[in-house]
């Protein structure tokens, strides 16, 4: 039941953050992204506001039933998410909420489920910070042309297509190298290396696809890379718990 409450809590918090993002972007999206929920008419503004408020309330309430420390983390998650939606998005600092927010996800689940953090978080947290920054750049690259046309000064538009690709590819290489180095230092058996190699393969596919000059390829890359990051995280967790 604790795992269910944690999962529902984080889902509700992310729904609130996503709704605030769409509400904030709706006026601009009407001209640039007419297929999104509010501009397309699939979701009304009052409904989106209800999701934002209700998701925050439900997420915080469920977190409080698990552990007061988890409730504090839930507030931090909302602050980071809203900060991205309302302040950092579309700026050269757009990567920062990702880099800070992504590491909170495993801490949220582990602290709520077990009550303490294991020693391997000393390597997991830096990996998650770097992965968050890489995902932020990939996200910016997906909207490169639209952001440039709108005058949005994101990290991707500031660096340009070539340099932003190299930077985010290098960040993913560091993530994989840290995971492999940690497994090697732990003397992990062969079966623990397989998921990490699989994650590296998925990430490499996303990075390679993101090199494509067209926006559709970069959008697909942005969708693939979080999968690889998730597999890498699960691989490290599996190696710890056996």
Residue 163 is predicted with a pLDDT of 92
> Residue 12: is its pLDDT beyond 80?
yes
Residue 65 is predicted with a pLDDT of 94
Query: What value does the mean pLDDT take over residues 211-229?
Result: 82
Residue 109 is predicted with a pLDDT of 87
**Total-model pTM:** 0.79
> Residue 45: is its pLDDT beyond 80?
yes
3-state SS string over the chain?
A: CHHHHHHHHHHHHHHHHHHHHHHHHHHHHHHHCCCCHHHHCCCCHHHHHHHHHHHHHHHHHHHHHHCHHHHHHHHHHHHHHHHHHHHHCCCCCCHHHHHHHCCHHHHHHHHHHHCCCCCCHHHHHHHHHHHHHHHHHHHHHHCHHHHHHCCCCCHHHHHHHHHHHHHHHHHHHHHHHHHHHHHHHHCCCHHHHHHHHHHHHHHHHHHHHHCCCCHHHHHHHHHHHHHHHHHHHHHHHHHHHC
Domain spans of the chain?
A: 1-78, 90-242
Q: What are phi and psi of 173, to 5 degrees?
A: -65, -40
- Over residues 181-210, the pLDDT tens digits come to 888 887 777 777 888 888 888 888 889 888
Query: What value does the mean pLDDT take over residues 5-29?
Result: 90
Residue that is written with structure tokens 């890359």 in the block: 221
Write down the mean pLDDT value for the chain. 86
Residue 227 is predicted with a pLDDT of 85
CATH superfamily, with its number, for domain 90-242: UbiA prenyltransferase (1.20.120.1780)
Residue 155 is predicted with a pLDDT of 85
Compute the distance between CA of residue 133 and CA of residue 48 in angstroms, rounded to an integer: 28
The per-residue b/e assignment along 69-83, b for 16 or more CB within 10 angstroms, e otherwise, is ebbebbeebbebbbb
């Amino acid at each position: 039941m604790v795992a269910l409450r944690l999962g529902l809590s984080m889902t509700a918090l992310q729904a609130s953050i996503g709704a605030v993002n769409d509400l904030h972007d709706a006026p601009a999206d009407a001209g640039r992204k007419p297929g999104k929920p509010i501009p397309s008419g699939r979701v009304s503004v009052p409904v989106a506001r209800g999701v934002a408020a209700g998701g925050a309330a439900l997420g915080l309430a469920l977190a409080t039933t698990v552990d007061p420390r988890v409730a504090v983390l839930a507030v931090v998650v909302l602050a980071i998410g809203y900060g991205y939606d309302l302040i950092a998005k579309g700026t050269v600092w757009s990567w920062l909420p990702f880099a800070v927010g992504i590491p909170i996800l495993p801490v949220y689940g582990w602290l709520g489920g077990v009550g303490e953090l294991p020693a391997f978080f000393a390597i997991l947290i830096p990996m998650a910070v770097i992965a968050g920054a890489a995902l932020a750049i990939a996200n910016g690259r997906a909207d490169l042309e639209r952001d440039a046309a709108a005058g949005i000064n994101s990290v991707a538009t500031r660096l340009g297509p070539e340099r932003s690709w190299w930077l985010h590819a290098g960040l993913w290489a560091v993530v994989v190298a840290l995971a492999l180095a940690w497994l090697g230092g732990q003397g992990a058996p062969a079966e623990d290396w397989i998921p990490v190699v699989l994650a590296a393969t998925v990430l490499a596919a996303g990075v390679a696809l993101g090199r494509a000059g067209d926006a559709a390829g970069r959008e697909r890359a942005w969708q693939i890379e979080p999968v690889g990051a998730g597999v890498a995280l699960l691989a490290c967790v599996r190696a710890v718990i056996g």
